[in-house]
Amino acid sequence: MVVAAIVLVCAAASVSPAARPIRGLSLDLLTALRWEMFGHGQDPAASPAVVVAIDEESLRTAPFMDAPMLTWTGEIGRVLSATLEGGAKVAGFDMVIPKSIEQSEIPFGEGTLGEKVRGFDRDFLRALAGAATNGKVVLGEILGGNQPVRPSPGQRVAVRQQQNIRPLNVHVDSDDIVRRLPLDFTVNGTTVPSMAVELASRALGAAPEFDERGRLTLAGYRVPGRVPNTMTLNFEGGADDIPTFSFADLRACAVKNDKDYFRRWFAGKVVIFGSVLDIEDRRQTSKRFATGIEGARVPRCAGESTPVTAGFRISTIAGVYIHATAVNNLISRNAVVEPGPLVRFLISALFAALAAVAAWRFRPLSAAMAWMAVIGASIAGATIAFNHALALPIAEPFLASLFALAATIGFRFVVADKDRRLLQKSFALYLAPHVINRMLSSNKLPELGGETRNVTVFFSDIEGFSLIAEKMSPDNLMELMNEYLSAMTDVIERHGGYVDKYIGDSIVAVFGAPADDPDHAANAARAALDCCTQLTELNASSALFQECKLAQRIGINSGEALVGNFGSRRRFNYSVMSDAVNLASRLEGANKFYGTTVIASETTVALTGEAFAWRELDAIRVKGRTQALKIYQLLALSAELTSAQATLIANYADGLAQWRAREFDRAAQCFGRSADIDRPASLFAARARELAQNPPGEDWDPIRTLQEK
């Protein structure tokens, strides 16, 4: 119930009005991701719309250099006529020239400037009138309160007033980003299509049809739109998705009457005139993370002007590209489809549920990794869907799942896992972590019983502990032992061992239980070497060890053992029980006789592989066992074996072979090479010399029996 409540609250919050500012971010991210993954969806040359750009090149080229836009009208008319004669279906203006120089009342001589230049716009107006006759030109206006920005009176008359004038206004989201375009407007009580809808309908030869809810159908295409009376724009990435021509270059082309160029590039196109200057009519759109360096990149007609391209990418685009994109979307039928509120809520709820379940079932880090994997996969899937114009939400599911993940982890930490953590912390001092986790996962208390496993038993003891205890006060002895046992336990657990019990100064540990460990023998051997190293460091650096240097003995044995909960029905311990444990204890005691530190059974040595340097010490029988076994001394890791240790092993092996072959004189010589520095070699050398002087009978057994535990 708690998880379900978290899911519903987080999903509802992600689609609530409070989250509206981040809602459009999904479109922005998907546009950028699609651009990075797939590049252009179509060849830019196939774009239904093209742009004639009033650009920096135009401003720097004669005859426009330093001339106000009012004086450009004749040349604009020239280029307009050339594009339409080249076969353009329709031309639109994403710019408004609200005044005519002929209307100027600035005094000039005995009259006004307007009177002196009467007829200046004649060519432009004729071009407009000719195009309007065939319905091939649409001028733009900007609606706003009682003072709309409209073309000059002469232009309005030339294009037959409102018949060929359409609004250029765009729809701005709450974060001031343009992601949608209005489909129609009400002008003087009459519903008129937007500029983009008008241009697309004329290019398709089909009148736009609006139903009572404001939804548009154009040439059989139902235009999708989540926000009423708008279409969601499907921007391509980069800056060359819509062919752009510099006005200066086209004017030079028209002057030299290159009709082939205009037919080649403008036949069947929707032409939109507009400014692409950095200081005019620039907008942030859902393309803001996927913009490019704008400029005219199509093959040029004339070489009379020098192209000027921006030196860096900015997040805004010229307004003319918004209308050109809308025209392309309407003609190509690929406007973005956005799911409604219910679908967005269900998607957010799904991701919130996945995050909450992961947080409830797994550890926080594992849940976070799983959440990131799901989010990554969902973003990839949403990007693929967006490549087919379906905009699945990613911001809302991301936030909903993130909040659900955090809320569920927080609930577990504060409420649900409080008792679990207390129990885990309390039992951690008495039980193995794996036993505690298994108990908590099963929601059952430990029970008597066990299972047979192949394990390695580690048994250690402090040399001469009784004498040490006699010399120290109880408090000092307790501090010494606590530091020693803590250090050794850390080493054992670092290598995967479980400390079964402490018996005075002894440590009994198990490798391979309760957690499975296929390398239990090797890990036990590594732990033994590290325990020796750790004790050396304690003797050298710890203040408690300065008055009393410690030495330890370690026995290691591998074999099958019964592991589990042993004891009475009211009180029991997780432990290990078998002959393998007893033998490990006997091997630890054998160190006292041989003067060594670590002795292991041949079973353990066989399981460790070649990573360790072992020396076969002897074949012995221990108290309580009739079966003989070979024992080995652990000297070092194979990679760290010194030449002196290697020589010691070789001399000892030669002596042991001669000993077992009853060649006692030769055995004494071999052992004697190292007897001065090696206690086991010294013992064998003395035994060999004794038997050389007093040869044993034929029933002699080269196996030593150790009576001490």
Residue 626 has pLDDT above 90, yes or no: no
Residue 607 has pLDDT above 90, yes or no: yes
> What pLDDT sits at residue 227?
84
Taking the C-alpha atoms of residue 7 and residue 2, their distance in angstroms, rounded to an integer, is 9
> Mean pLDDT lowest for which of 32-36, 188-192, 477-481, 591-595?
188-192
What are the tokens at 116? 């002196």
The average pLDDT across 475-503 equals 90
More confident position, 51 or 281: 51
What are the tokens at 548? 């009393």
> Mean pLDDT lowest for which of 124-128, 377-381, 393-397, 663-667?
124-128
The average pLDDT across 81-99 equals 90
The average pLDDT across 153-179 equals 88
Q: 0.85 cut: is pTM over it?
A: no
**Residues in Cβ contact with 15 at an 8 Å cutoff, skipping those fewer than 6 apart:** 341, 344, 345, 348, 396
Q: Using 50, 70 and 90 to split pLDDT, how confident is the model at 565?
A: confident
Residue-wise burial string across 491-519, b where 16 or more C-beta atoms lie within 10 A, e elsewhere: bbeebbbbbbeeeebbbbbbbbbbbebeb
> What pLDDT sits at residue 24?
83
Residue 312 has pLDDT above 90, yes or no: no
> What pLDDT sits at residue 306?
56
Q: CA angle, corner 619, sides to 615 and 623, nearest 5?
A: 125
**Residue 558: what residue type?**
S
Q: Using 50, 70 and 90 to split pLDDT, how confident is the model at 16?
A: confident
Taking the C-alpha atoms of residue 454 and residue 557, their distance in angstroms, rounded to an integer, is 11
Taking the C-alpha atoms of residue 613 and residue 491, their distance in angstroms, rounded to an integer, is 20
> What pLDDT sits at residue 704?
82
More confident position, 526 or 284: 526
The average pLDDT across 149-153 equals 86
> What pLDDT sits at residue 472?
86
More confident position, 13 or 509: 509
Residue 447 has pLDDT above 70, yes or no: no
> What pLDDT sits at residue 115?
64
Percent pLDDT > 90 in the chain is 28
Q: Using 50, 70 and 90 to split pLDDT, how confident is the model at 442?
A: very low
Percent pLDDT > 70 in the chain is 90
pLDDT digits (tens, 9 = 90+) for 28-86: 888 889 988 888 777 888 889 999 988 888 888 888 887 888 788 888 888 889 999 88
Residue 502 has pLDDT above 80, yes or no: yes
Contact (Cβ atoms closer than 8 angstroms) between residue 272 and residue 324 = yes
Residue 564 has pLDDT above 80, yes or no: no
> What pLDDT sits at residue 636?
94
More confident position, 677 or 106: 677
> What pLDDT sits at residue 558?
94
> What pLDDT sits at residue 557?
95
Handedness of CA 420, 425, 429, 434 (dihedral sign): positive
Residue 21 has pLDDT above 90, yes or no: no
